Structure 1
Amino acid sequence: MQRLSRSGRSPRRGLRLFFRIALITAVLGICAIGGTLIYLANTPLPTADSDRNSRLVDVNGETIATFSSGAKNRISVKLDQIAPDLIHATLAVEDRNFYNHIGFDIKGMGRAVLVNIEHLGTVQGASTLTQQLARNLYLSHERTWTRKAKEAMYTAQLEMKYSKDEILQMYLNEVYYGHGAYGVEAASEMYFGKPAKALTLGESAMLAGIPKGPTYYSPYNSMKNAKDRQRIVLKTMVETGAITQQQADDAYAQLLNFKSPSQRTTGDDAPFFRDYVRNIVVNQLGIDESLLEHGGLTIYSTLDMEAQKAAETAVTEGTHGTPDLQAALVSIDPRNGYIKAFVGGTNYTQNQYNHVLAKTRQPGSSFKPIMYLTALSSRKMTEASMFNSEPTMFHYDGNRKTYSPRNFGEKYLGEIDMRQAIAASDNIYAVNTILTVGANHVIDMARRMGIDSPMEPVPSLALGTSPVSPFEMASAFAVISNQGRSVKPTAIVKITDSSGDVLYENTPVPQEQIVEPAAAYVMTHLMESVFDTGGTGNRVSAVMKRPVAGKTGTTHTDAWLVGFTPELSTAVWVGYDKGKILETAESRKAAPIFAQFTEKALEKVPPKIFPIPDGVVSVYVDPQTGKLATTGCSQNQRLEVFIKGTEPSEYCSAHGGKGTPAPTEAKDGQSKDSSWWGDLKRWWMNK
């Protein structure tokens, strides 16, 4: 007798119903798959669109460079015109199961998932060569489900319509190898000056490793990274049985003869800035490099091409006639951190090394304003603080160590104040200052102002012996110009894809008050004296037609001028790559470059006086004593500004006479100078 369930149905009938539904579902699924395959087989692939240029535009929206040049270096070849070692190397490192899958490597996907789970990140990918080809030919590289679905569809179509050898040939002629070279033939000619058919095993392994990161693994950019990648390629070739371990070892040890990178040309404007932006996009923002190459992105930058052209002209003219002499210039708007000009060297075609970012150069005396700002903001010193400029042996570290600095040309000025020390770049005063303030406090100030290069807390730090980059110096001085507020250098405003959708948009970081505005203004006021009579920048004062503050710096191998106006903070460095000692004439080239650039970049901007914040007072002082001037000091007295509460309270007694009126809140007053803006500010203060 058949048993019934509580619902009154036979279990056997329910089982038959289940299998019937499953069978119908399977048939429908097979029909759907069959219909999809028939549709894909009879639907033509879209027109290949691998030439969608990604553009870099300036602050006015004008294109200044492309990341995938329309005039690409591309030479198509047949599969039998490519060295077998290069084919085997590419398959081993990119898709070792290429000839055994149908466009999708299921085992590879599973293996990649396990590896990524083990490392808690995206360590290994699983895209086949066919998937990569479909993406490069027909799609952008956006990470959306729609794009992934289209990629799967085009991958299946490629596998249906072409043989494996045809797909491999298309891939090897399409893949990007960096520096504008698309395809193995163009890459082989660019890197080695030979056709792809003539490549050795070592050269093949080197080339096969580049597409994973054309900038990072380029031997022109980093030989270490390229050799590390070559070792991985050779290892995978051994694992797949393409070569023996001995062949891999011999290939890795082979000395490769690369074609000189100086033979490469670029038609882009601002190539050093373009490379800097590329690094940010790929390594900081995490945008896939292939998307940057093929995706038709628009990168809106902060660069001002008028300022850029002024910078390039100033660098070219400033170093003309001096072979191998290098220079760098970077200029930042201190009000918002926007990078306005960026020149990393004298000739990009001959030397792609970006000196703007090189943290290998001693700033010399151009570092001193950071130390003096520390002294002013700590109240341990004022601009009226006096030290004796004379040969001195300093004792430090519990009197266990000594340091004996010298002034340039053995020139010593006797008793001087901070303004005189800055103008004359006096080293004795500087070391007295750092021992008074404390080197660690100076380092802390430098860190907060944007310098992250290593710095040693020793007395010589006052003279700029710890190497920094021009980029860091321009950033730090921008803080002073910005009334003591932090400045985050910014190169990219936003990035949009080929459809105009925003992939990235810069979010301004709230500015932090690094030092009080009054301290930043007093420091600015003191640095203006560098361009006055007797200052180390005086030789370019006739060129400057606007208020400007700055500081020179000179070592045996480096010449600097770092300075600012209310609109631009600019660092200029001049020197040789191999540390060659600068001759006297060469050591004086930074200041003219700075002056020429600043005036040209701002020629359409009316001159502006540095705004004076609250908390600043002006008094007449006697520069010989640092005390309040009396009527007897009439020949020597100087109008000086102080952070309110730090101004001298004692009158000078060296010259007799009576005291002058009490200090007043400064409006737009600064020390006496011979410039027209000095006269204007004194008139404004006294009106």
Structure 2
Amino acid sequence: MTNDNSSNEDVNGAAASSGDAGDNLRVRTRRRRPRWRRVITTVCSVIAVLIIVPLVAFFAAYAVTKVPQPEELQNNQISNIYAADGSSELARIVPPEGNRENIDINEVPEHVRNAVLSAEDRDFYSNSGFSVTGFGRAAIGQLTGNDSAGGGSTITQQYVKNAVVGDERSLVRKGKELVVSAKMTREWSKDEILEAYLNTIYFGRNAYGISAAAKAYFNKPVQELTVEEGAVLAASIQRPSQLDPWTNRPEAEDRWNYVMDGLVGLDSIDRNQRSAAVYPETIDPATVDQGSIAEGTNGLIKSQVLAELAANGISEEAVNTGGLKITTTIDSAKQQSMVDAVHSRLDSYGDDVRAAGVSVNPKTGGVEAYYGGDDPNGFDWVNAGLQTGSTFKIVTLAAAVEQGIPTSAMYDSSPVTSGDNTVTNDSGETCGTCSLAQALKMSLNTSFIRLTQSLDNGAQDVADMAHKLGAAESIPGIDQTLTENGETPYEGITLGQYQSRPLDMASILATLS
């Protein structure tokens, strides 16, 4: 059977027929676009998303963004440290950034300016104020969760980030940074931007601005900095706290070499001058005026507070610029009593005697009173590693009690051999054979050497008990405490042979309490 129409085409002109030899059926089909047209369409869409949309957003933001004036960007923040009552001030931290002396760019030697350019932005005077590649890396970092992917910011961007938009890790913040940087480049001269940057950037050592940095590292005005000294300051900008030559000389010098090599590329110095350059010595950061207001031992309390904040992830820069209110565990009344007690005792000794005092709350572990010396910037005797003497016998007794040896146990107090030495008691004192309680009261060396020898693991048990009670595993200058060069301590540990701090002993006694 055959239809009246021998063939039919759909609206697109495609012929249709059934697979049956005798029947032709009307079938509707759609002609597919060529593959190359689909590829072009996709590419155009991607281009629109990646280029056109960001450009539209950029210029829209550019049109409405106002670039602040320099006087609007001052950051004068002071952090306060208080006693436990939250109102008794112990110290104030006044960053140089808060009371710094702004200097004209012409006061900064050209070789110092060039060192900063070598370190941070070698095409500063020719670029548009922002780095597209740096923004791209930041975008990739946001998408991949890789915080280290960012970088490559220009000097203008760094200034804008620090003074205008903040350092939040987000594409919105980065986009705003690019807009303000581009607009600032059009509205400010390059010298104005560089001057503002040099007066605000953080160099470490609590120094904001090139003038403060020159004094913090070399104790001289910026006008007197040499090429090599300028390169040290410029090298520190990348990671101020980590690139201080006093704490990390190898990395600081590596970065310095990068800056000095860049100065050759900028034609600021010649190769002969570069070859003759020697890394300059900086002053001890401990001698630098940190801008802190603290009297007497409160200055040492301030140092301990800053160290504890750093250990808990609150950076030096956050303290210097954040306007923080820091409340400590110090009890004002107990603190004054501690200071008075130490002074009273010291009055009966000569000027060459030093003392420390620290009070730890047995319930909380909080330090309630602290005296490490009267010089707010001096040596802190609370944290000094010293031989503790017979006070350490308390720890030995605690180790014995833990092993089931009671304080009523009887021990001989006659001379005893320990290693190659014969141990006796002070002034030949003896109790014959008496209880540990009596031996402790009389502070008999011989009884406690014998007690140490009778412990399951000897002197090691004394060291382990001290650490369990709160003695630090390491202290300034000693990587491993209460050991003999990393090995088992001598039995003299019970007589306070090894160094511990007054703070450790206070913690030990608070734990026992």
Relative to the length of structure 1, the TM-score reads 0.58
Highest CA radius of gyration, 1 or 2?
Answer: 2
Question: 1:574-593 alignment to 2 at 5 Å?
Answer: none
* 1:105 and 2:124 aligned: no
**What residue is the counterpart of 1:463 in the other structure?**
495
Equivalent AA in structure 1 for residue 468 of structure 2: R
Which structure 1 residue ranges, 5 or more long, are not aligned?
395-400, 482-687
Question: 1:19-418 alignment to 2 at 5 Å?
Answer: 30-40=55-65, 47-62=72-87, 63-69=89-95, 72-99=98-125, 101-107=127-133, 122=148, 125-138=151-164, 141=167, 148=174, 150-178=176-204, 180-211=206-237, 223-225=246-248, 227-242=249-264, 247=273, 251-255=277-281, 261=287, 266-268=292-294, 270-282=298-310, 284-319=311-346, 322-323=350-351, 325-349=353-377, 351=378, 353-358=379-384, 360-379=385-404, 381-394=405-418, 401-418=419-436
- Structure 2 vs 1, CA of residues 179 and 422 (structure 1 numbering), >3 Å: closer, same or farther? same
- Structure 2 vs 1, CA of residues 388 and 169 (structure 1 numbering), >3 Å: closer, same or farther? same
- Compute the displacement of 1:391 (Å): 2.4
Picking from 448, 456, 474, the partner of 2:468 is 448
* CA distance in structure 1 between the partners assigned to 2:41 and 2:138 by the alignment: 40
* 1:435 and 2:461 aligned: no
Question: 1:448-527 alignment to 2 at 5 Å?
Answer: 448-451=468-471, 452-453=473-474, 454-456=481-483, 457-481=489-513
Give the alignment's Cα RMSD to 1 decimal: 4.0
Contact residue 138 and residue 171 of structure 2 kept, 8 A = no
Contact residue 82 and residue 197 of structure 1 kept, 8 A = yes
Contact residue 49 and residue 139 of structure 1 kept, 8 A = no
SS at match of 1:168: helix
- Structure 2 vs 1, CA of residues 432 and 15 (structure 1 numbering), >3 Å: closer, same or farther? closer
Equivalent AA in structure 2 for residue 465 of structure 1: Q
**What residue is the counterpart of 2:23 in the other structure?**
none
Contact residue 387 and residue 429 of structure 1 kept, 8 A = yes
SS at match of 2:58: helix
Which structure 2 residue ranges, 5 or more long, are not aligned?
1-11, 15-27, 475-480, 484-488
- Structure 2 vs 1, CA of residues 65 and 95 (structure 1 numbering), >3 Å: closer, same or farther? farther
Contact residue 76 and residue 99 of structure 2 kept, 8 A = no
- Compute the displacement of 1:234 (Å): 2.2
- Compute the displacement of 1:85 (Å): 3.5
- Structure 2 vs 1, CA of residues 385 and 323 (structure 1 numbering), >3 Å: closer, same or farther? same
Contact residue 103 and residue 156 of structure 1 kept, 8 A = yes
Contact residue 332 and residue 341 of structure 1 kept, 8 A = yes
- Compute the displacement of 1:428 (Å): 0.7
SS at match of 1:296: coil
- Compute the displacement of 1:432 (Å): 0.8
Equivalent AA in structure 1 for residue 253 of structure 2: R
- Compute the displacement of 1:375 (Å): 0.3
* CA distance in structure 1 between the partners assigned to 2:53 and 2:168 by the alignment: 33
Segment of structure 1 superposing worse, 255-264 or 227-236: 255-264
Segment of structure 1 superposing worse, 382-391 or 40-49: 40-49
Segment of structure 1 superposing worse, 238-247 or 75-84: 238-247
Question: 1:607-622 alignment to 2 at 5 Å?
Answer: none
Relative to the length of structure 2, the TM-score reads 0.75
* CA distance in structure 1 between the partners assigned to 2:216 and 2:55 by the alignment: 50
Which whole-Å deviations, capped at 9, do the CAs of 1:14-61 have from their partners, x for residues lacking one? 688778877987666544432222222678789314113333333222
- Compute the displacement of 1:433 (Å): 0.9
* CA distance in structure 1 between the partners assigned to 2:65 and 2:99 by the alignment: 33
- Structure 2 vs 1, CA of residues 13 and 390 (structure 1 numbering), >3 Å: closer, same or farther? closer
Which whole-Å deviations, capped at 9, do the CAs of 1:326-379 have from their partners, x for residues lacking one? 433332212011222333333123x2x433334x32222121111101101211
- Structure 2 vs 1, CA of residues 458 and 257 (structure 1 numbering), >3 Å: closer, same or farther? closer
SS at match of 2:223: helix
Contact residue 134 and residue 150 of structure 2 kept, 8 A = no
Equivalent AA in structure 2 for residue 427 of structure 1: N
Q: What is the aligned length?
A: 462
* CA distance in structure 2 between the partners assigned to 1:256 and 1:42 by the alignment: 38
Segment of structure 1 superposing worse, 331-340 or 157-166: 157-166
Q: Tell me which of the two structures has the higher relative contact order, counting C-alpha pairs closer than 8 angstroms and 6 or more residues apart.
A: 2
Contact residue 355 and residue 372 of structure 2 kept, 8 A = yes
- Compute the displacement of 1:307 (Å): 2.9
* CA distance in structure 1 between the partners assigned to 2:139 and 2:498 by the alignment: 46
Contact residue 3 and residue 10 of structure 1 kept, 8 A = no
Which whole-Å deviations, capped at 9, do the CAs of 1:80-113 have from their partners, x for residues lacking one? 2113343233333344454454444344577899
* CA distance in structure 2 between the partners assigned to 1:215 and 1:317 by the alignment: 40
* 1:426 and 2:444 aligned: yes
